[in-house]
Amino acid sequence: MEEDVQYSTVQFKSGASAPKNNKEELSVYSSIKIKKPLTSVTQNKDDNIIYSQVELKNLFQSEPSNQNETIYSDIKEGEQKRQKENGPKVQAAGRRFCLLAVCSGIICFLLCASIIIIIIYFTMETHKQKQNLSELEAKNKQLNLEKRLLQNKTEDLTMNVTKLENQTEQLTAEKKFFEIQIKKMTVNPTTILQKQIEQLRSNSEAIIKYTNFPGNLFCPDGACQTCPKDWIQFKGSCYFFSYFNDPWKTWDESRQFCQRKNSDLVVINNHEEQTFIKNRIEYYYDEWHGYWIGLRRINNNWIWVDNSQDTLGYWKNPGSSDNFVHIVHDHPLKQSWVQIRNGFQNRFICEVKAFIF
């Protein structure tokens, strides 16, 4: 902005000039009379002219004057006066505006900072929750894996215990058998000879016991044997175990096969015979396949093929409604008989009395 300059002119009416040698002080009293009132229009002009009347009292002591001198002056006022009058107000308003703007800026900054902090906080919390959830899922998977491992170990231990029990029973049976043999060996030789004589007598009658002696079974090629070929002797009987891979047979088909060999399906009479048979069968295909034995249900009674009633009852599934029985490998000795339907196909066991001669 350009600097405003005020100009004033003073005109003396009498045309007198001030004395040169004036020892006393001059006192000037003036009064300013505004000829035209200032309006909004005049205030906006660059130069405003103010007329004032100046009255001099005792201006000169040496020359008294009875008449007051009136001096008119023109005062030109620019924008500087208005700035001096309105400057403080504008500056105060500006300072208030600046203060308000600064306060508003600070408040906006604090709000933005608060919002950013809240967003960061919730983001961190969400990340922590996701991380915790991932850790929990990993722990859950690990626990499930450990649970399955423990279940598998438990099953393995159960199977091992069962096998140990079976082996214990087998060893017990073999122990009893060897004890009997030892007792027989310690008997008086005379007694042994008498028993051998009696045995020979009974052997001479062995052929008579057969209604139709199967000579082709016991005496192939003219040489008689205690058991037929591929049969296994246990005490007074011979046993045939069908180890055929296929085709397997139903219960009826298995019995017909045994009868064609002048024998029948096996009849288990005691615990020793059960142990003998159980130790010679083998696992095949799956745990439900086994070997047919000569036991079936007739009139709700379990009858062997020799028409004797069963008294052992080594059942695996006693509540079944099926009427035929086979013996399986992977079960305890006294829980190895499984009730099953006749149409199921299995291997089988035949039994015939040994030919002792």
Same domain for 282 and 250: yes
Pair (306, 248) in one structural domain: yes
32: which DSSP letter? -
Do 258 and 346 sit in the same domain of this protein? Answer: yes
Q: What distances in angstroms separate CA 92 from CA 29, 86, 105, one per listed residue?
A: 36, 10, 20
Same domain, 344 and 217: yes
Domain shared by 322 and 277, yes or no: yes
Residue 68 CA to residue 58 CA, distance in Å, equals: 9
Q: Which residues have C-beta within 8 Å of that of residue 236, sequence separation ≥ 6? A: 353, 354, 356
What is the total count of domains within the chain? 3
The per-residue pLDDT for range 217-254, each reduced to its tens digit, is: 767 666 678 888 889 999 989 999 998 887 899 999 99
Predicted model pTM: 0.43
The set of residues, in sequence order, having a beta carbon less than 8 Å from that of 307 and lying 6+ positions away, is none
Q: Which residues, including other chains, have CB under 8 Å from residue 294's CB and lie 6 or more apart? A: 255, 264, 265, 266, 267, 304, 305, 306, 351
Report yes or no on 188 lying in a domain: no
Domain region containing 52: 7-77
For residue 72, list its beta bridge partners: 11, 53
**What is the CB neighbour count within 10 angstroms for residue 236?**
9
On whether the CB atoms of residues 273 and 234 are closer than 8 A, the answer is yes
Do 87 and 60 have their domain in common? Answer: no
pLDDT at 117: 93
Cα torsion 274, 275, 279, 284 to 10°: value is: 30
Residue ending a domain, among 177, 200, 234, is 177
C-alpha pair distances (Å), 300 with each of 8, 52, 296, 325, 334? 149, 150, 9, 14, 21
Domain end point (choices 46, 77, 108): 77
Closest to 288 measured CA to CA, from 248, 239, 232: 248
| pLDDT for position 303 | 96
- Could you tell me which of 253, 282, 281 has the C-alpha nearest to residue 265? 253
CATH number at residue 343: 3.10.100.10
Same domain, yes or no: 107 and 14 = no
pLDDT in tens, the chain (357 residues): 444 444 455 554 544 454 554 444 444 444 444 445 544 444 444 444 444 444 444 444 444 444 444 444 444 455 556 666 666 777 778 888 888 888 988 999 999 999 999 999 999 989 989 989 989 999 898 899 889 888 888 888 888 888 888 888 888 888 888 788 777 666 555 566 666 566 555 554 444 445 456 666 767 666 678 888 889 999 989 999 998 887 899 999 999 999 998 899 999 999 999 999 999 999 998 888 999 999 999 999 999 999 999 999 999 988 889 999 999 998 999 999 999 999 999 999 999 998 765
